[in-house]
Amino acid sequence: MSSDERLNKKIDQEAILDQLSQLSGSEFNSFLLKLFRNRTENITAGDLMRQYKQSRFTKEAAIDPIAFKQLELRLLEYAQGRNFKPLSLSPLAPLGTCSAIGRVNQNNVVSAARNTEAVSDLTNVMALKVAQEHSGGSRDFKDLQYVATQRTTRSQAFDNPAFAAHFGILSLVSGGFDRGSFVFEIEQLFKHIHFHHGLLKNEIGHAESYTVIMLKQQEHPFNDFLKQRLAKEKFDIPVKLIHEENPTDYYDLVQFKNYTLLGEEEVNLADGGLVDWTQKLIPNKKHRLFISGLGIELVHKLFQ
């Protein structure tokens, strides 16, 4: 029996959902607060211990906290030295931060009360910051470069026990306005690639790595501009260009992935690309946002 079938045996969920959907935001928030308060009134100390032992969301991270904090500090200082401004983000984000602009299923996010959700992706939160700073649409605005590290929480469950519900990541965003001939897009693609090359060289210099740049649309003018610039660019590690259609439409035009060899296994440590989130948030079709991220907890566990 499915969870929906079990639920329907206890309550008329369609009727309840219909009633709740008619509430205003403040009314729905008040309802949730009352519901949570009523449920916690029945929680005993024994219930609390069982939940702590069983829930994958509440388990502590299997890392050396001091060494990991030192790694975070090194990475933030490295980013700051390359003109990315460090941010200390809230552990909460507005409800829908990922699903409303990033095409992520809300079931993969830990939703909370007071119109918030647990942060599951730093780049979505920093996109809000960039949109706020660039609202108004003036092309005189300077490009914005932000970096953050944080422990994030995601709700999807995996069979692999190495995949935890919460983990530390580093994320970068670059926001600016279209300058023609895909100048912003190509500059930021290479800026982010070089950033991750240098960072990984510092942290795992002994490991063999390479980068793949994926073009997301066939016969697009961007492809020719990129190939012309790529022929002149020099990289610290091998970079190859491929065509790969993007079925989820998460990235626009281009994406890159960094792979590091661990024995015979290829590990994807970093990736990034162009997204349209700020075009929706400002809104302004001329705005551009490039994002990337690195699994720093994976780097810590595998190489340090």
Whether the CB-CB separation of 23 and 31 falls below 8 Å is answered with yes
Quickly count: other Cβ atoms within 10 Å of residue 126's Cβ.
24
pTM for this one? 0.91
Q: Can you give the residue ranges of every domain in the chain?
A: 3-42, 65-303
pLDDT in tens, 33-58: 999 999 899 999 999 999 999 998 99
Angle of helix 183-204 relative to helix 65-80, nearest 10 degrees?
A: 140
Cβ neighbours of residue 53 under 8 Å, at least 6 residues apart? none
Q: Collect all residues with Cβ–Cβ distance below 8 Å to 276 and sequence separation of at least 6.
A: 252, 289
**Residue that has been written with the tokens 């916690």 in this structure:** 40
Residue 144 and residue 175 in contact, taking contact as beta carbons nearer than 8 Å? yes
**Residue 17: Cβ-neighbour burial (10 angstroms; 0-12, 13-18, 19+):** exposed
Average pLDDT over residues 144-167: 83
Can you give the C-alpha Rg of the chain in angstroms?
22
Give the pLDDT band of residue 25 (cuts 50, 70, 90).
confident
**128, 89 Cβ separation under 8 angstroms:** no
In this model, does residue 162 exceed pLDDT 80?
no
pLDDT at 67 over 70: yes
pLDDT tens-digit map of 279-300: 999 999 999 999 999 999 999 9
Could you confirm whether domain 65-303 is CATH 3.30.930.10? yes
Strands 144-153 and 85-86: parallel
What mean pLDDT comes out for the span 113-130?
Answer: 95
pLDDT of residue 139: 66
- In this prediction, residues 104-129 reach a mean pLDDT of 93
